[in-house]
Amino acid sequence: MSHYDILLKPIYSSPASEVPQDIELPAGWGLSWHQLETFKAIQDPNIDVIFNTAMTGDGKTLAAFLCVLYGHLAAVALYPTNELARDQEGQIGGYTRTLQLSQEPRLSRLSGEVLEIYAETEGLRKSAAIETRASQSEILLTNPDIFHYLHRGAYLTKNYSPDSLWNRLDKQFDLFIFDEFHVFSAPQIASVINTLLLIRCTNRRKKFLFLSATPNEDLLKRLKLAGFRCKEINPISENKYRFPDREEECHELEAQGWRQVSRGIQLEFISLEPTGKASETWLQENSQLILSQFQKYPGSKGAIVLNSIAAVKRLTPFFRELLAPYGLVVAENTGLTGKEQKERSLLADLVLGTSTIDVGVDFKINFLIFESADAGSFIQRLGRLGRHESYEKEGEKIHFKKFTAYALAPNYLVERLFQGESAPLVSGGTCDRVFFQETIREKYRQINNFQGYYKRWGAVQSMKLCQQLTHPTIKEQYADASQVFKKACEEVFETLLKNKYGQVKGWEKDWQQLSGKKDKGNPIAEDAISFRGSSPLQCGLYDVTESNESDRFKTYDLPGVLSHLDIEPMTAVAFMQLIEETAQRTGKPIAKGRFKHCLGFMKLREYRQEKENWNFTYPGNLQAIADAWKVQVLVGIQVWQPANPWIREINQQLKKQGLVCYVIPRPVAEVRSRLRLPMHFQIYPIKDQSSLHDATAPYAIGFSQSALLLDTLAYWFKSKGGEVWVL
């Protein structure tokens, strides 16, 4: 195996030139340049949208909440996962204690699960529960999903005006914070743009703050097109970072008030074939390397961050057995990890997970092994290392002596970085973080950004909101706002919504014809106006491998179950009864709403060592369907997996469902490659009657929003006068 490594220089962030008069900081505290600039931009009446693109670990969260913590305004903060929102809840609480505030802002966290339980325990409707929590908070932590559905008029009965909730929420809060926004794809970005336009057109000017070390240029461009006054706070372009070569330079910068964001890191690239279990196999074969890290540097703490939950579940017991004889504790850190298990993981020596929550923050580390799905996740995960020089263990301060990272990288990336005369990196060399991150973005496989989605599907939600603004109860109130909103959406999404007489109804008629469900709603349009799309393949899961009883109830998509899980089927009645029994035994309520539309229910016994083979099947001929190159609703789809004893029960339910889908007449591997699909893009193999016995499924299928995204590519090429299949 070829050996490539580089030394990444330390990172120092520029101090602010001043501290605002209305901010009192504790002794020894200072603000970074970008934190002050963010504070000033939020207070500037001539700025609507702020992008803070400071590096990972440079205090973007504090920058976002300074105005709120010191009582200037109230904020809604939106996080892509509930786990991240819960993590930020603790971090903000830490700020209030550290800053020694005389009056702490009231803080509430709102997720679908929290909302359901709160509504039930307080005897409220969900709309009343949202209103109550919001009215009692200066900081409301939630996710963009809830925020999106509020502005679509969800959680309301037909007797309420569509703006009953969002109008009050938008008036109460002045700042809307979107964190880690880079993880969203085109449908979510389109939804956020629509919501921002609705707020601007129906309310007084508000502030919108986007936090991400890897900003989205599409979003910035379209917000400017819509007339938002935008400001980008970019420490890199303003030369507000330093990367010293020598220890003396570090001391000089610290004396001048520069804050160390990251220590120097020894980064080694492990070149692997981009196959499913390559990283997992390497970790097992090189497990002694991890043991030697602990032996060579006593007191070390490490993290292994992978792309696959199943791989983490298989590797965690492997490393527990390996390291237990040496008194080393191994824990898990995934999005499925329960609260108590997560708290225990902070005391571990090594954590394995798919999530970087706590890693490099509460769980301080000096070595990291990580996979990445793209340039953004590579930069974000590496940014978790080197933030802290020490940690406390049983009252004793343990100092880290060295910071080491191993990037489990696809071989093509390593070749582009180090091989050839024009290779940007030299093994054994030294590199500053700005050049390194730019190089990673340039050389990593460029994934499809679905540029055409905005024009093709982005205006669907716009029309739904236009329709909402003409509701009889609010039509007069928002008469002017409706026209302004319509015009702004047409500019942003480059789509004419036509005149008021046929504009919305005309489009809905087209989509009903596409869906073939004229008398049963419009599933294609529903997927287009939802935030993440529907989940027609979602299953309810009782995870016996989870140590905390209350956290054993989860949802999991059927393709993941078929590939990775050894399960035992359950009835819906037995599953719900088990929820009730567990809630009574533990004294903790368990939200049941997420299981309402599950395809099936099952008990997870263990994660399989090898990925199982399977594919979808269609009872007719797929050729004509695929040749149509459009989103369709198909009925009769089932799963083929001969050795599976419980698949017949799932198929009985699955084949009855009308599924929004897009079929491409090529095998999945070819589609992924030619369309440059993201690693976790949900596309699967499917066979029809004529290909049941083929070794490889000749067709690929995407469901829900994945279907809309695939349609976007065909639509984009047709609109440019090209063939559908040209990549």
Per-residue pLDDT at 507 exceeds 50: yes
Per-residue pLDDT at 184 exceeds 70: yes
102 band by pLDDT with thresholds 50, 70 and 90: confident
Contact 372, 409 (CB under 8 A): yes
Least-confidence region, from 19-23, 449-453, 572-576:
19-23
Q: What is the pLDDT of residue 503?
A: 45
Q: What is the pLDDT of residue 355?
A: 82
Per-residue pLDDT at 482 exceeds 60: yes
Q: What is the pLDDT of residue 511?
A: 64
Sequence-separated contacts (24+) of 395-403 with Cβ below 8 Å: 398/299, 399/299, 400/263, 400/297, 400/299, 400/300, 400/364, 400/366, 401/297, 401/366, 402/266, 402/297, 402/366, 403/263, 403/264, 403/265, 403/266, 403/366, 403/367
Per-residue pLDDT at 168 exceeds 90: no
Q: What is the pLDDT of residue 518?
A: 56
pTM equals: 0.91
Contacts of 263 by beta carbon, 8 Å cutoff, 6+ apart: 10, 386, 387, 389, 400, 403
Per-residue pLDDT at 515 exceeds 70: no
Percentage of residues in the chain with pLDDT exceeding 90? 59
Q: 332, 424, 445: which is closest to 378 by C-alpha? A: 445
Q: What is the pLDDT of residue 721?
A: 53
338 band by pLDDT with thresholds 50, 70 and 90: low
Q: What is the pLDDT of residue 500?
A: 44
Q: What is the pLDDT of residue 616?
A: 98
Tokens 């990972």, residue? 56
23 band by pLDDT with thresholds 50, 70 and 90: confident
What is the pLDDT averaged over residues 538-563? 91
Per-residue pLDDT at 514 exceeds 70: no
Least-confidence region, from 136-145, 154-163, 580-589, 632-641:
154-163
Q: What is the pLDDT of residue 26?
A: 85
Q: What is the pLDDT of residue 467?
A: 86
Strands (E), 508-641: 538-543, 553-557, 565-570, 601-607, 615-617, 632-635, 638-640
74 band by pLDDT with thresholds 50, 70 and 90: very high
Q: What is the pLDDT of residue 169?
A: 87
724 band by pLDDT with thresholds 50, 70 and 90: low
502 band by pLDDT with thresholds 50, 70 and 90: very low
Contact 371, 306 (CB under 8 A): yes
> CA 441, CA 679: separation in Å to the nearest integer?
16
Condensed to tens digits (0 to 9), the pLDDT of residues 307-324 reads 998 999 999 999 999 999
Question: Domains of the chain by range and CATH?
Answer: 33-239+453-521 (3.40.50.300), 264-443 (3.40.50.300), 538-607 (no CATH), 615-719 (no CATH)
Condensed to tens digits (0 to 9), the pLDDT of residues 623-654 reads 999 999 999 999 999 999 998 999 999 999 99
Q: What is the pLDDT of residue 509?
A: 64
Q: 681, 707, 567: which is closest to 626 by C-alpha? A: 707
The tokens for 101 are 């505030």
The CA-based diameter of the chain, rounded to the nearest angstrom, is 75
Q: What is the pLDDT of residue 42?
A: 96
> CA 165, CA 156: separation in Å to the nearest integer?
8
Condensed to tens digits (0 to 9), the pLDDT of residues 416-448 reads 999 988 999 999 999 999 999 999 999 998 888
Per-residue pLDDT at 505 exceeds 70: no
CA angle (688, 669, 725) in 5-degree steps: 80
Position with higher pLDDT, 119 vs 101: 101
Per-residue pLDDT at 178 exceeds 50: yes
Condensed to tens digits (0 to 9), the pLDDT of residues 114-149 reads 888 877 777 777 778 888 888 889 999 999 988 998
Percentage of residues in the chain with pLDDT exceeding 70? 93
Condensed to tens digits (0 to 9), the pLDDT of residues 213-257 reads 777 777 888 888 888 999 999 999 999 999 999 999 999 999 999
CA angle (211, 212, 213) in 5-degree steps: 135
Per-residue pLDDT at 674 exceeds 60: yes
725 band by pLDDT with thresholds 50, 70 and 90: low
